[in-house]
Every structure is written in C-alpha cells, then in structure tokens.
Structure 1
Amino acid sequence: RYWPRFPRPKTVLTVKEVPTVDAAFVLQSVAGLAAKAALRGGNRDMVWYPIGHPAYLRWHEEMLRQTRANEQVLPDVWAVVEHFRRAGIVKGYVLFRKDAGDRRLHQRGAYDPSANVATVLAARLGAVMVSEDIEHEARARGLQRLADARGLTEEQCYEHWAAQCSDSVLALVDPRVPHCRAEAIALDAFVLATHGPLLERALARIRPDSPILGWGAGDEFQLTEPVSRWALWQSATNWCLNLPVLSTEQVGSTFPASSIRARQRSLWDLTWEDGVHYTSFLMTDGDNVQWLMGDFQFGAQRSWWNSPVRGKFPMGWGACLADLAQLCPYALRNLIRTASPRDDRVLMGGGYYYPDLFGKSRNSLEPLRLHARRIRGYLRLTGTSLLHMNAAKWDSPEAIRAYTVFAEEIPELQAILMVQYAPYTAGKGRVLWVRRRDGTELPVISARFAIWAHSPFPDDGPPAEIAAKLNAEPRLAEPATSDAENRSQPAEVPGFSWVTVHCWSWFKNAPDDAAAGAEETDQATAAASGAKRGLEPVAWCVRRLDPHVRVVTPTELALLMNLRLRPEQTLRRAVAELHLRLRTAQPARRSAARGFLDKAREALVKRNYRQAFLAGKNAARVLGVMP
C-alpha cells in the first residue's frame, strides 16, 4: 500500500448536519485527530462527516456493514469535539482566518494561507481548527487557544514544523475549502496551496513514489510537472470526505479480492476480420479519485457511469483502481459489480503524473520502477491489462524509457494508451513498440482523435466530426488512400485507432444531416440548456459510424493490435498458455485440444497466422477457455 490503512472503528460519531463552513473546518479537524489517534493505536472512535450525496450515502451504509461499527449521532460538531476532549485527543484549538479574497477556487492568485498553516498546527498540537468568526463559541466551551495561525506564512510554517511532518505524503489544498483536511491531519501531512519555490522544497523531502493529497491552486501542468519530477503523483482527492473511515480494509484479506476483479478478455474471444477499422473510446480523467468516489458513479446529471446509454456500445473507462482499492474499496466494488459486458476499466497510471518526467529531479529511474511494481499488483488484483497515461511529450526519449520500464516490470500488460498534455491527440494514432524483458514487444498507442468541445486542435471535435473522421480511416489489410475528404493525416497503423473522450465537454444533440459544428454549444450555459456531456455524446458518434467501423473495448483493441501487428509473438505466447491447460483437462478434451494445438504450431511455422489463430481458437473452445 502507499495509502495507510486505518484500523476499523468501534464507534463512528457523526452529526445530522454541518451548517456552516466554520463548522466544517471544526469537524474535519476533529475527524483528523481521531483518525490519527486510531492509526497510532490509541483510539477506536472515528468520525463520519455527513453528506447527502448518493455516492457517500452508499459508501456510509457499506462501511458500517463491513466494519460492524456502532454509529452515534451527536447534536452538533461541538459535541463531537467534547467527546474527543474527554478522551484526551483534543487538547485545544488553533485560530485561523478564512481566505476571503475573490480568487476562484483552485485558481492561482493572492490567498490567505492561514487555514493551511492551521491544518499543520492542528496535527502537531492536537488542536481543532477554529476560525476567528467562531472563536467565541470555542471559548464558551472551555477550549484553550494553543496557537494562532493568522499572519503566519506557509514558508514560516515550513521552517518551523516541516521536519516533524510525514515524509510519505504531502497535501496540496486550496485554503478556502475544508475538504481533505481530516486525512491531512491524520497522516501528519505538510499542507500548502500552490506551485513555486516552497513546493519544490517540500517535494524534495518526500520519499519517492508517494502521493500528493488533495489538489492545489493554480495551473494543472505547473502543479503536476514538479510533482512528477520529484517522482511523486497527484491523486485529485481535493473534494473527498471521510477517507480515514473508508480506508480501513485490505483488499484480498478483509475485503474479498473477487469483488473487485473483472472478467478478463481473452485473445480467443476475438474474430479475425479484414476490410474493417477497429476503434475504441476511452473516457478521460479517471485518475480523479474524488470524481470516481462521487459524481462519476452517482451524479445527478447521469453523464458518466450512471448514464442511461451505458452498456449499449463498448466503452473504455479510465479508473484510479489502485487508489480506490485502498481509499474506498466500496466505490471500486460498485464499479465492478454494476459493469456491463461492454464496459472496460483501464488503470490510469496509478496516479496523475507525467511518466517522461517522473524522477527527473532525482536523476533516477528507480522510483518509476518501484511505482510500476506497486501498480502491477493492483492490475493483477483487478484483472486489468491496460495502462493509460498522460505525458508531457509522449514520444520523447524520456517517455520511451519510461514505457520500457513499465514493459519490463509489468509483463502482463497488453498495451499502454497514451495522450499528451497538449494536445491529447499529438500522437495522431502512432504506435511505439518497447521491449519486455523476454524480448517481446509492447505497443504504446497514442490517441487518434478526441471528442472535445471548442478545441483548436485539428484531430479534436464534436461527435459528428469525429465519426466522419473515423469513417474515413483506412481499413485493416487495405492500403491507406489519399482521396478521403475527412482524413486530417494518414494513420501510421491502418485499421486501428482509439478516441479520447473529454469528460467535461458539453454538446447538444443534432440531426445526422445538421451543419458542421451544430453540436457545439456554450459551455457556460450548456447544463441549463439541456446539453449533454460524458457518455451520450459518444453514443451520438457511434450511431454515425459506417458498418465497417467496429467499436471494441480498449482491451479488445489492444489484443487485436497485438494479434495483427505482432502475430508471431502473440500467437506463440497464447498457444503456449493453452498447452499448459492440457495437463488439467479431461482426457477426451485433452486429445481434441492437442490436435488443434498441433495444427496451430504447424501454421505458425508456415507463418499462416490466420490459420494458427483459428486452430488456437478451436483448442480454447474445447478447453473451456471461451464460451
């Protein structure tokens, strides 16, 4: 694990509501102190922050059932504070001033760091966080002020207290929000808001391959680039709540591994076809933990996992499988048990980082190897064979070295699906091949197109435009043609492509004969006007595809590309795996399967790969590997 496992609580304390932001800071901080004491073995009571979101209502119910904890509802947050003061866990309060500027949330700009400084001090002193607006309430309850964070800078806080903070996690948190602070306090994380010289210093003292809790204020690339250089990774946990009490389980021991394992697709499930073009769609932002724990699965707009069109066509979903397995296995289990046969989950990197920059400031590839070995366990645990990542420059020498590390450390990988930070479609569908330790090659497949609203890039566009481009892509086993009007650039690998789907882009449905660009809409007013985002725009694209365009899952696409572009290594490996199954097969099945496998090997010698595939498929059917 790289996220700590908290002990199961004996009692979960909660309140009916948290009426103000001031109260939210108080409850988040006392929840963090309780969890910190539990982690150190001195407390069996933890805190649940009440939230009416349907996802958290589900996780709350499942958590109580799993842990068998008793729940106690107290009158208000001060009653929770009093409970833990009597237990010796709350020793007083730290005073802070709320950030009251006009800066937008998570945007760069002037800010008051007082809340972040107070979060660090709360963990150090055993103090709850009290804003100056409600200090009189704390005093009225007999709480003692232990520190005043007002006027202190994050730099001053770092100089005095960073050495006492954890070296296995760092928190980036907008000082205006109370979220995420329970976990930060429980883990003794140093907390700051944005990128700059202090972030560089803070990152340098954290052990390689550790997570960044929360999400900072500022530009996405400027936050993630230094994190990557220092061999760390973003988790996008900024809106998460109740992480300590949701991360008490160990998948594979207290939580059944079978409940989070998806059925693996087999090479033998496929069909050998010519004259077709295979394509896949893959939703972006699956490395966003707070989203997958919340709106992604149970959002009121029903845009993504709970979309009414899910299951009607093959679809790929990037997912933070490793983080969910540790932080909220209930969310991961729900993804597995509610999936349709056409849903395919792909591991998004094991965090958000740029693999081509990972560890650059430490001048070592070892942190990346460590990360690859760690996420390998979660790939195997969840039955996943694809990795999806975002690179600063997807085809740079540094990127190719990083892909090679993953190929060497995770031999089960079928492919790596890559986008570039800007544009996502920089690779134009090109495929790079890197070697595993056994000499076989792993495909690194760049996105060909993107369903993305109002994009300035030529390979991005609304659903109808992307459908037209896909219809004009060359077919498998056919030469590329130059007379297709919609081709923006010839594909390097005729017959295969994948489309990245920007999860936040809004579009409006339009008739198939509508003018170009009719699906574009004003993003600011889109929700109110009935526009759609997420999965439904993909459905509009799929309905416009010509019959020769075959929509498959990303895993099926990877298997097909390995089969057709590297048939020798792919079929030899697959036939050898079938041969191992002969030992446990019934005698009658063993004899029939052996005959088919002999034919497959003979065809491989003659390089008749289609015949080898068909013979292997017959053997797989006899052995019960496929329906």
Structure 2
Amino acid sequence: MSRRQALGGLAVAAGLGAAGWTAADLAMPRAASAAPTSLFPKGVRPTRLHVVAESALSQPERILVATLQGQLARRRPTGGEVPGIYVDVPGVGYEVWLADLADRYGIDLVEADGAWDLVDLFRQNGAHGEPVDSFVVYRQNEASANVATTLAGLTGAVAVEETLEPVALQHGLRRLLDVRGRDDRWVMENYWDDLRHGVAIEQKPDFDNRLRDYATMAGAFMFFDGNSDFRAEVVGALDPDAAVVGWGDAAQGENAFVSVSSRAGVRTIPADHARNLAPLSGITLNRVRQRPAAHPPRPEAGTHHVAFLITDGDNVQWMLGDFQSSANWFGAPLRGSLDLGWGVSPALIDLAPSVLRWYYDNAAHGAHRDRFVAGPSGGGYLYPSMYPRAELDLHTERLADSMRRSDLGVAQIIDFDSLDDTDLWATYLKRRQIEGLIYLEYSRYDAGRGRIVWANDKPVISARTMLWEGLSGADEASVTATLNDAGRDPSSADGYSVVVWHAWSKTVANVKAVVDNLAPHVKVVTPDVLVRAVAKNVTR
C-alpha cells in the first residue's frame, strides 16, 4: 500500500509539501539556523514563547499541546515574530531554563491560559502564515498515540485523543486522519520512506507530552514495542550511527535493548521524560566552554590522586529535570567544597545548548571545581565492543566534533570484558579531541580495580572502586580505606584512582564523607585533571 492509499487520499489535502515534511526536508535539520555540524534535528529559534503550566493540562491536552509545540518549532522563519510554546514544570530545571531563555537570549514570555487558547491562537494566526488547523485522532494509552504523533510530524497536524474530538471540532479544527487501532508496524510499512532514518524516538504510548514535541518537530518515527523482533527490525533499518532518543524496555536490564541497538550500530540517548526539546533545540551555540581546569599536579612522591565521578551522565532527561535542583546532585549545598566530576551528554550541544551553557556557567570554580566529562559511551549509550567497527569509526569521528563543541576531553565507557581491547579504544583515542577514557565494566563498574591500558599513547583508566548502596566494598568506610591504602608512586598506575559514585543511591554528601576522612597524602582532583596527570606521569 502506498502512503497516499494509507492516508485515504488525504495526503494531497494535508499539503505534505507545505505544512508537512518531504523526503528532502527530512534529509537535513529543518531550521535554517541549525549549526552545520548538528547531529540532531533542531527547531527554529523562537522570539516569543507562550508558556503553559503542565499541571493545567489533562493528559490528552498535554499530547495535543506537545504536537502543536512541535509544529511551531519546525516552521521556517520568514521575518518578524517567531512564536513557540513552552510547557513549564515548576520545582525542577524547566523553570530555570525558561528564565534563562528570557534573560540571556531575549525571548519574550507570554502566559497561556490553556490548550484551547493555544489552539485558537495558532489555528487563526498560524505560524508564519501557515495555520495549524487539522488533527489526527487516536485512542489514549494504545499504540495509536505514537502513531498519531508520528503522523502529526508528517502532515502538519496535531494529535487529538478521541474524547477531545468534539471540542477540537468546536474550535475549528478538522479531522485529517483516524489512526485508532493502528500500531507502529503499520506506520513502518506505510511511511518509512517519509521518516527520518538518522533519529527515531522510543517512547511508551502512555507517556503524555514527553518527547512528543521533539518527535513532531523532527518528523521522526515514534515507536515502542518492548524487546521484540519488531524493535530489532526498526533499529536495524536506521542509518549507521543513528540515535534513538528515549528509552527502551529495561525490565530485564537496560542491556537487553542497548545490546540490540549497539549490534545494529545505533546509540541510545536516554530522554524518555524530557520536555520542551523542540524550543530548547532552537537555540544554536556552535561552541560552549567550561570554566578552566586546574593544572595537572606535579609528580610528588608519596602522594595518591583520586577523582570522584558520578554515574549516569548520559541521561538527558535528568539534566533537564531535577539534576539541577536536587540537593543530592548539582543543587547540593556542599557542591564547591570538593572537586567533583560530572558526566554530561554531548548531545546537549544540539538538543539543549542553553542548558549545557547554564551548567558550565554555574559550575564551581574556586579552591574546588566542578568539571564535566562525556557520559557513556560517548555520543550516546552504546557498548563499543558490539558496535560494528565501521559505525564505531563514524561514531567517534562525530563524537570528537561534539566533544570539541562541548569543551569535553574525556569520555566514560560502559562495556563487557573489553578493558584490554586496545584496538577498540584506539578508535576513540586516535581522535585528537579525546584525551582519555574512563572504563566501567557493566557489572560491577569497578571490576577493573584501577588498571590502566594504553592506546595511541593515551590512557584508558578503569574505576578502582565505587560508592554504591548495598554493594560489598562500596560503602564510605570501605572506599576511604581503599584510597588511604592505595599506592603512592606517581609514575605508576597504582598512584591514581577513579571512584564512581552511584547517582541513585549516593549523594554529594556521601562523597564529602569519604573526602573528609582521606589521609593527608590522598589528593582529590577532577577526572580530566587525573587523566592528564596519568598521561604525563605514568610509565608506559
């Protein structure tokens, strides 16, 4: 069946060449302002954001507003005002990013009363002369919610849940398609050639506005089918080193789906709870810079150096949410009283560059510093040993550029029994931008016990120990004892330690408890400084 047959002849009426996407549109990021090196579709930069509180919207209204968000974010500016929508979630990062968009980037903020006021505004006035006046009807909490989101991105429509259809008609919207009872396979069979193949969105149908604005803006395939053969078919059909934004079915462990994606040469960007990526991606920053790092310590006999690095730094949704505000993490009152390493996804330089810039600007920079490294395993969550080598070579080439733009020199790696595969690490470390790698064995992260291997004369440093509630030897007292008893020769790998602390069971306060009980000969540095010290001082 052709796409036009599947649409029941409505493809022409929908104006796919005007209000929707064409195959040529999907080949490159839509916005004219997108950086040439962007690996992700980017929205247009708004000049005015209509702000609506998420709590004021029902679940069906959230999906409606998200798809309207996406439609506005993808329209090419033709001069004058560029309107957008922002869904505020008080108490976490989203209100901070909104204030930053207004203060630093000069975006006007207008309060919106609700979903239907926004529908009326953009049905009548459109965006750059293109009204949003049609909808795709779906049924709540079934696969058709994802189908409607995907087809909204293809047709220029919004997604309307079946109980809202009478209200939508009253507000002057017209039904374009009815996808109730349809599923992701139906979409793939009928529309695959019209969708992006470099980015897909993996999202549960019962998640409301999360990621749907970005999927609509990008014209990307939104799907969810657990760990099925169909899911393997989807990731296998994507482009080399494509990104799946969202999260899979981790009921049997996250490796259940990350392994399948890795073998297909596809990376995962954890983001299934992310909101507002359509307007946030509209800001373009070709490069952002961290506050300067400290100089590597001089090789001083009798000294042991240690760096503390948080886990789960690849998590985009967390960086957008309460990572900023929680006293466990970046909002900790103790932050700035010790050197700390934080992971971050280089994808933020395209997906939410203003957010990345905010973190860098608010990093501690005094007697003690916050410094960022790329989260695992570089440009997304993947297992390098499973990635086809040609795709990994492409990945690391892209990664090096995004790390350059994000001012990152060190990347975390998660893999299985691969520490000694120096040919594998050479694929990363032949890139000038990448100074070293920090290796975490999938289980346990500290299985390498601090061993260091070398590739291209650069270090791959395994975690010596970790802070992790409920695991043997990973409590504060054990970690403190391990570090105090560790080697003190700066020319040996034994003279350096990386401690990874589990983001979900430990806090900055737990790290500080270890630091406060270290012996005087144990010196704390940031992870990037430790990598440079190892490279400079350790005998090969």
Shared topology, TM-score over 0.5? Answer: yes
Cα gap change, 1:476/1:245 in structure 2, threshold over 3 Å: closer, same or farther?
Answer: same
Number of the residue aligned with 1:486:
none
Q: Percent identity?
A: 28
DSSP-derived class of the 1:130 partner: strand
Would you say the 8 A contact 1:3–1:326 is kept in 2?
A: yes
Would you say the 8 A contact 2:92–2:324 is kept in 1?
A: no
CA distance in 2, matches of 1:200, 1:43: 43
Would you say the 8 A contact 1:92–1:128 is kept in 2?
A: yes
Would you say the 8 A contact 1:314–1:553 is kept in 2?
A: yes
DSSP-derived class of the 1:497 partner: strand
Q: In the alignment, does 2:138 pair up with 1:82? A: no
Cα gap change, 1:127/1:116 in structure 2, threshold over 3 Å: closer, same or farther?
Answer: same
Number of the residue aligned with 2:532:
559
Count of residue correspondences: 489
Number of the residue aligned with 1:164:
194
Would you say the 8 A contact 1:447–1:498 is kept in 2?
A: yes
Counterparts of 1:180-259 in structure 2, within 5 Å, are 180-193=211-224, 194-218=226-250, 219-252=253-286, 257=287
1:471 is displaced (CA, Å) by 2.1
CA distance in 2, matches of 1:566, 1:468: 26
Counterparts of 1:458-477 in structure 2, within 5 Å, are 458=472, 460-476=473-489
Number of the residue aligned with 1:579:
none
Would you say the 8 A contact 2:197–2:238 is kept in 1?
A: yes
Cα gap change, 1:217/1:293 in structure 2, threshold over 3 Å: closer, same or farther?
Answer: same
Counterparts of 1:436-585 in structure 2, within 5 Å, are 441-455=457-471, 458=472, 460-476=473-489, 493-505=493-505, 533-566=506-539
Number of the residue aligned with 2:416:
392
1:157 is displaced (CA, Å) by 2.1
User: What letter matches 1:196 in structure 2?
Assistant: S
CA distance in 2, matches of 1:385, 1:566: 21
DSSP-derived class of the 1:298 partner: coil
CA distance in 1, matches of 2:120, 2:67: 13
CA distance in 2, matches of 1:317, 1:346: 6
User: What letter matches 1:64 in structure 2?
Assistant: A
The Cα offsets for residues 205-244 of structure 1, whole Å up to 9 and x where unpaired, read as 3222232122233341122112222222211122221112
The Cα offsets for residues 555-578 of structure 1, whole Å up to 9 and x where unpaired, read as 2222222233238xxxxxxxxxxx
Cα gap change, 1:340/1:128 in structure 2, threshold over 3 Å: closer, same or farther?
Answer: same
Number of the residue aligned with 2:18:
none
Cα gap change, 1:367/1:414 in structure 2, threshold over 3 Å: closer, same or farther?
Answer: same
DSSP-derived class of the 2:74 partner: helix
The Cα offsets for residues 316-361 of structure 1, whole Å up to 9 and x where unpaired, read as 11112x2222222222222222222322211221221112222x2x
CA distance in 2, matches of 1:89, 1:260: 39
Q: In the alignment, does 2:352 pair up with 1:328? A: yes
Cα gap change, 1:543/1:31 in structure 2, threshold over 3 Å: closer, same or farther?
Answer: same
1:42 is displaced (CA, Å) by 12
DSSP-derived class of the 1:163 partner: helix
The Cα offsets for residues 173-200 of structure 1, whole Å up to 9 and x where unpaired, read as 0111121101001111111113322222
1:65 is displaced (CA, Å) by 4.1
CA distance in 2, matches of 1:477, 1:343: 23
CA distance in 1, matches of 2:94, 2:323: 12
Would you say the 8 A contact 1:184–1:213 is kept in 2?
A: no
Cα gap change, 1:466/1:127 in structure 2, threshold over 3 Å: closer, same or farther?
Answer: same
The Cα offsets for residues 68-88 of structure 1, whole Å up to 9 and x where unpaired, read as 444333332112122332324
Number of the residue aligned with 1:306:
331
Number of the residue aligned with 1:150:
180
CA distance in 2, matches of 1:39, 1:189: 21
The Cα offsets for residues 403-451 of structure 1, whole Å up to 9 and x where unpaired, read as 101111x22433210102222122121111112xxxxx11111111111
Of residues 121-130 and 186-195 in structure 1, the stretch that sits farther from structure 2 once superposed is: 121-130
DSSP-derived class of the 1:49 partner: strand
1:382 is displaced (CA, Å) by 4.1
Counterparts of 1:35-46 in structure 2, within 5 Å, are 35-38=73-76, 44-46=82-84
Number of the residue aligned with 1:489:
none
User: What letter matches 1:60 in structure 2?
Assistant: L
Q: In the alignment, does 2:151 pair up with 1:121? A: yes
CA distance in 2, matches of 1:234, 1:328: 17
User: What letter matches 1:239 in structure 2?
Assistant: H
CA distance in 2, matches of 1:221, 1:546: 38
Cα gap change, 1:387/1:192 in structure 2, threshold over 3 Å: closer, same or farther?
Answer: same
1:467 is displaced (CA, Å) by 1.1
User: What letter matches 1:151 in structure 2?
Assistant: G
User: What letter matches 1:461 in structure 2?
Assistant: A
Of residues 124-133 and 426-435 in structure 1, the stretch that sits farther from structure 2 once superposed is: 124-133
The structure with the larger Rg is 1
CA distance in 2, matches of 1:241, 1:64: 18
Cα gap change, 1:157/1:121 in structure 2, threshold over 3 Å: closer, same or farther?
Answer: same
CA distance in 1, matches of 2:145, 2:76: 24
1:64 is displaced (CA, Å) by 3.0
User: What letter matches 2:72 in structure 1?
Assistant: A
1:284 is displaced (CA, Å) by 0.6
Number of the residue aligned with 2:15:
none
Would you say the 8 A contact 2:133–2:172 is kept in 1?
A: no
Cα gap change, 1:310/1:423 in structure 2, threshold over 3 Å: closer, same or farther?
Answer: same
Cα gap change, 1:126/1:251 in structure 2, threshold over 3 Å: closer, same or farther?
Answer: closer
- For structure 1, the residue ranges without an aligned partner over 5 or more in a row are 100-111, 436-440, 479-491, 506-532, 568-627
CA distance in 2, matches of 1:149, 1:45: 29
Residue number among 423, 429, 438 corresponding to 1:407 in the alignment = 429
User: What letter matches 1:429 in structure 2?
Assistant: G
Would you say the 8 A contact 1:264–1:383 is kept in 2?
A: no
CA distance in 1, matches of 2:370, 2:106: 32
Would you say the 8 A contact 2:374–2:410 is kept in 1?
A: yes
1:91 is displaced (CA, Å) by 3.6
Number of the residue aligned with 2:51:
14
Number of the residue aligned with 1:367:
391
CA distance in 1, matches of 2:307, 2:105: 40
Cα gap change, 1:393/1:477 in structure 2, threshold over 3 Å: closer, same or farther?
Answer: closer
Cα gap change, 1:477/1:121 in structure 2, threshold over 3 Å: closer, same or farther?
Answer: closer
- For structure 2, the residue ranges without an aligned partner over 5 or more in a row are 1-37
CA distance in 2, matches of 1:83, 1:24: 17
What is the root-mean-square deviation in Å for CA atoms of aligned residues?
2.5
Would you say the 8 A contact 2:133–2:157 is kept in 1?
A: yes
Of residues 165-174 and 115-124 in structure 1, the stretch that sits farther from structure 2 once superposed is: 115-124
The Cα offsets for residues 530-555 of structure 1, whole Å up to 9 and x where unpaired, read as xxx32111111112222222222212
Cα gap change, 1:340/1:273 in structure 2, threshold over 3 Å: closer, same or farther?
Answer: same
1:309 is displaced (CA, Å) by 1.1
- The higher-RCO structure (CA 8 Å, 6+ apart) is 2
Number of the residue aligned with 1:295:
322
Would you say the 8 A contact 2:450–2:494 is kept in 1?
A: no
Cα gap change, 1:40/1:30 in structure 2, threshold over 3 Å: closer, same or farther?
Answer: farther
1:114 is displaced (CA, Å) by 2.2
1:41 is displaced (CA, Å) by 10
CA distance in 2, matches of 1:121, 1:7: 20
Cα gap change, 1:74/1:557 in structure 2, threshold over 3 Å: closer, same or farther?
Answer: closer
User: What letter matches 2:513 in structure 1?
Assistant: W
1:276 is displaced (CA, Å) by 2.4
